[in-house]
Amino acid sequence: MKVTPEIPTPSAILEAALYVDDLDAAEMFYGEILGLVQIQRLEDRHVFYKVGGSVLLLFNPEQTERPAVNPDLPVPPHGARGAGHVCLVLTRDEIATMRKHLLNWNIPVDAEFDWPNGAKSLYVRDPAGNSVEFTEAHLWN
């Protein structure tokens, strides 16, 4: 796809969303096990975590399919069903430490390998079945 000067090109992804059927289990996995900093939880609708300069949004899909009730925040209904994917950046040494940490929590490793460019990736599943990848920052360079 050709990018023209008239069309602004986004500089980053500000937020990414995964959909989970059990916010308490997700909160345990992302907050307690992974140590992400929670920035918001709204009852059984969502829980949000800070990840560097981005935010990981975890939504209950049944709640986000409903129309907004606050006219000041008219977020349109949205959602997805089934397993999604998120990739979090760690150094190679941090990935090794995370692997041991996850195994101590009895979280099995789905896959672990080096990409052709040398970046290492480690994959696990969250309680909702979403694929959570930890990889080095140069994966897409």
For residue 111, the 8-state DSSP code is E
Q: pLDDT for 42-89, tens place per residue? A: 999 999 999 999 999 999 999 989 888 888 989 898 888 889 999 999
CATH number of the domain that residue 45 is part of: 3.10.180.10
Q: Count of domains in the chain?
A: 1
53: in domain: yes
pLDDT band (50, 70, 90) for residue 5: low
DSSP lists the bridge partners of residue 135 as 89, 121
7: in domain: no
Burial code of 74-105, b = ≥16 C-beta within 10 A, e = fewer? eeeeeeeeeebebebbbeeeebeebbeebeee
User: What is the C-alpha to C-alpha distance for residues 12 and 2, in angstroms, rounded to an integer?
Assistant: 19
9: in domain: no
8: in domain: no
Q: pLDDT for 78-131, tens place per residue? A: 888 889 999 999 999 999 999 999 999 999 999 999 999 999 999 999 999 999
72: in domain: no
CA distances from 14 to 29, 52, 72 (A): 22, 10, 21
100: in domain: yes
117: in domain: yes
Range of the domain at 21: 15-63+82-140
pLDDT in the model for residue 1: 63
Q: Among candidates 65, 75, 69, 82, which has minimal Cα distance to 21?
A: 82
130: in domain: yes
